[in-house]
Structure 1
Amino acid sequence: MKYSIYYESKTGNTKLLAEKAYEILKKDIVNFEEYKGNYIDYNEDIIIVGFWTDKGGATDNIKELLSKIENKKIILFGTAGFMSDKEYYEKIINNVKEDINESCEVIDYFMCQGKMGIGIRKRYEKSLETNPDDENIKVMIKNFDNALSHPDEEDLKAFEGLLTKYM
């Protein structure tokens, strides 16, 4: 099997997963890059595409990539800071699948939580000052703090387990 890995990473979370994929599959990688707008068909068997979650889906850059790929098997992977919930992850993946060329097949996906920038926590704290009894804001702060350690070793091992099924 031959693989290409394309990814986009804002805070380093998705890059960490991409590097893990490269480490696992390196002898069979024909292309590994942070996607900057150029897609080349390397005649790979599987394309592995990573993204950070932006408004419940992939970024415009990754959407563009997914629309360009034709007649390939795809594995998606991503990180989401907002929450760690299987149903939430499935919604994200379903949103991302809408941008994939219909000639392609998504054969698997992996999502995990990723740390967020400190500015987000500061916004939450400011909201809590204004609304000290708002339980939703308290949950978001707790989620932010939990996300600080992700992707963690457990996430990386789970991603490795998924990828080794396709070796």
Structure 2
Amino acid sequence: MDKGRYSIIFSSLTGNTKILAETIRAVLPAENCDYYGVPETQELHSEILYIGFWTDKGNADNATLELLSKLRGKKVFLFGTAGFGGSVAYFQKILDHVKQSVDPSNTVVGEYMCQGKMPQSVRDRYMKMKAQPEHPANIDALIENFDRALSHPDEDDLERLRKIILG
């Protein structure tokens, strides 16, 4: 991966994507970082933009999608987290949706996704649904996924990201 000037721009609702952003920042040369933080409208002049998002209904969050739609002629590395996980195919489907918002003048130079923990309110909602006589057939699977996600992003997730970044 190009180790020139870079920016890390990320949106993180629950802190999961911020953990990925911090991991990227820790392995790249600090003196080459032009910007680190939330999506803003400022002009980004870095050689590569590491753009992180949280997953909202199978796509990146709105702030990230808006940023991606404005970029032209950039090298972009996409990274994100999703509450539902365990499937490379599911993560790829999300990344494919996100890439639809990237203008063709940009080059996606890399991508990474992993599972991320969800707020306790999600599990509480699932438990209320389960208590109903007519609950969804997959409610137990949703609860199991929530519980599995609690440890993510974990050290294995972060090590995979480090290896991709250092490539």
Pairwise TM-score range, normalised by the shorter structure: over 0.9
List gaps (5 residues or longer) in structure 2: none
Give distance in 1, aligned partners of 2:27 and 2:98.
24
Write the mapping of 1:1-167 to structure 2, written as runs, cut at 5 A.
1-25=4-28, 26-35=30-39, 37-42=40-45, 44-131=46-133, 135-165=137-167
Q: Give 1:132 deviation, angstroms.
A: 7.9
CA contact (8 A) 1:5 1:48 kept: yes
Give distance in 1, aligned partners of 2:154 and 2:134.
31
Under a length normalisation based on structure 2, what TM-score does the superposition of the two structures give?
0.92
Paired residues, what number?
A: 163
List gaps (5 residues or longer) in structure 1: none
Give distance in 2, aligned partners of 1:18 and 1:86.
20
- Superimposed CA distance per residue, residues 94-135 of structure 1 (whole angstroms, 9 cap, x where no aligned partner): 100011111001111000000000111011111111148855
Give distance in 1, aligned partners of 2:73 and 2:84.
33
CA RMSD of aligned residues (A): 1.4
Q: Give 1:41 deviation, angstroms.
A: 2.2
Identity %: 42
- Matched residue SS, 1:53: strand
CA contact (8 A) 1:3 1:31 kept: yes
Structure 1 counterpart of 2:50, one-letter code: I
Give distance in 1, aligned partners of 2:160 and 2:137.
32
- Superimposed CA distance per residue, residues 127-152 of structure 1 (whole angstroms, 9 cap, x where no aligned partner): 11114885511011000001000001
Give distance in 2, aligned partners of 1:108 and 1:74.
7
- Superimposed CA distance per residue, residues 1-44 of structure 1 (whole angstroms, 9 cap, x where no aligned partner): 11111000000000011011111112321211122x323122x2
Give distance in 2, aligned partners of 1:133 and 1:114.
25
Distance 1:132 1:157, change over 3 A: farther
Under a length normalisation based on structure 1, what TM-score does the superposition of the two structures give?
0.92
